[in-house]
Amino acid sequence: MAVPDFQSMFVPFLNAISDGQEHAIKDVANTIADQMELSQEDREEVLPSGSQRRLANRVGWARTHLKHAQLIEYTGRGVMKITPQGQEALAGKPAALTLKDLDQFPEHFSWHHKKAPDKPNSSSDVATDSDTLTPEERIANLTAELNSQLAEELLSQVRSMDPYKFEQLVVDLLFAMGYGGSRAEAANVTKASNDEGIDGIISHDRLGLDMIYIQAKRWQENIGRKEIQAFVGALAGKQASKGVFITTSSFRRTAVEYAEAVTQKVVLIDGERLGALMIEYDIAVSRSQTFTLKKIDTDYFDEV
């Protein structure tokens, strides 16, 4: 099963420390993972930012909410124990606790709603992202939403580019992704008038021991098997084993199946993925705003 949302961890968290002893957060996370029978893959899943494991993030936020409800108390760095109020909450053997349940405790309600007042005409019974996702996950989702919109705008611009400049953009992207040697020798864009089915060539490594052949189509209509078959034929003519076919549109299923079946390694990149890669590798985009998330530097306190 996937890692549950942080609300689903309230009761397992309290059960894990119900003996009244002090417990380290790492041990609590492992106990919860065992209770929920999470696979090793689930335990190692990371947030989209790659900065933290999803399990640790959600257990951490469960701890924060339980602490503000005064169901647990911190006794040291990364160490906590259950409070009498927490024992009382467990006495009824609840199957689950939610944010709405924790809001019954004045301390939690005051903290939880201090910077997030209810919107007019909103219903507290309707689950929102803030009820199921941690702040880091909400930031990741909002970033993905903004990037999706940006990718659409990028593709609109790319589709209006000169075909030869589009081919150069593709080479620039592959170079930014780490292919090629120096910038001067990284790529060789073939002449548009005589490319023999190949739009660009870029070295797979700095020594140029292997080459990647590129086909770039700035098309509106979807790419079918015919176009991929022609590209594979061009690769064979160059005795090439690797190729990248990039389009601003999409690939039909027959094209995908054919690319998967041939002996050459052919990677297909459609418009959606192209836009995402351009954003990831800073091609034709610039930074708009930067928000820095900070955390406690535990080494500082160790040194003191």
Confidence of residue 303 (pLDDT cuts 50, 70, 90): low
Q: Is residue 131 part of a domain?
A: no
pLDDT above 80 (res 173) = yes
Q: Choose the final residue of a domain: 56, 87, 116.
A: 116
11 and 74 within one domain: yes
Q: DSSP secondary structure string, 155-193?
A: HHHHHTS-HHHHHHHHHHHHHHTT-SSSTTTSEEEPPTT
Sheet holding 72-76, edge to edge: 23-24, 79-82, 72-76
112 and 18 within one domain: yes
Tally the domains of the chain: 2
**Residues 9, 13: Cα–Cα separation, whole Å:** 6
φ, ψ (nearest 5 deg) of residue 267: -100, 130
CB hemisphere CA count around 135 (13 angstroms): 10
91 and 12 within one domain: yes
23 and 79 within one domain: yes
Determine the pLDDT at residue 195: 54
Which helix H or strand E contains 86, and what residues bound it? helix 84-91
Q: Is residue 286 part of a domain?
A: no
273 and 171 within one domain: yes
269 and 178 within one domain: yes
163 and 112 within one domain: no
Q: Is residue 236 part of a domain?
A: yes
**Can you give the residue range of the structural domain that contains 11?**
6-116
256 and 175 within one domain: yes
Determine the pLDDT at residue 135: 85
**Residues 42, 52: Cα–Cα separation, whole Å:** 13
**Residues 69, 230: Cα–Cα separation, whole Å:** 65
Chain-centroid distance, C-alpha 19: 37
258 residue type, one letter: Y
Q: Choose the final residue of a domain: 116, 142, 173.
A: 116
Q: Is residue 140 part of a domain?
A: no
Determine the pLDDT at residue 155: 86
Structure-model confidence comparison of residues 206 and 2, the more confident one: 2
pLDDT above 80 (res 61) = yes
Q: Is the full-model pTM beyond 0.85?
A: no
Chain-centroid distance, C-alpha 49: 6
Q: In terms of residues, how long is the chain?
A: 304
CATH number of the domain that 93 lies in? Answer: 1.10.10
Encode 214-229: b = buried (16+ Cβ within 10 Å), e = exposed: bbbbbeeeebebebbe
Determine the pLDDT at residue 131: 65
**Residues 144, 121: Cα–Cα separation, whole Å:** 28
Q: Is residue 40 part of a domain?
A: yes
**Residues 39, 28: Cα–Cα separation, whole Å:** 16
Proportion of the chain above pLDDT 70, given as a percent:
86
Q: Is residue 271 part of a domain?
A: yes
Q: Average pLDDT of the chain?
A: 84
Q: Is residue 285 part of a domain?
A: no
pLDDT above 60 (res 10) = yes
CATH number of the domain that 186 lies in? Answer: 3.40.1350.10
158 and 259 within one domain: yes
pLDDT above 90 (res 297) = no
Highest mean pLDDT, choosing among 25-29, 198-202, 203-207: 25-29
Determine the pLDDT at residue 193: 37
198 and 111 within one domain: no
Q: Is residue 148 part of a domain?
A: no
40 residue type, one letter: Q
91 and 183 within one domain: no
92 and 168 within one domain: no
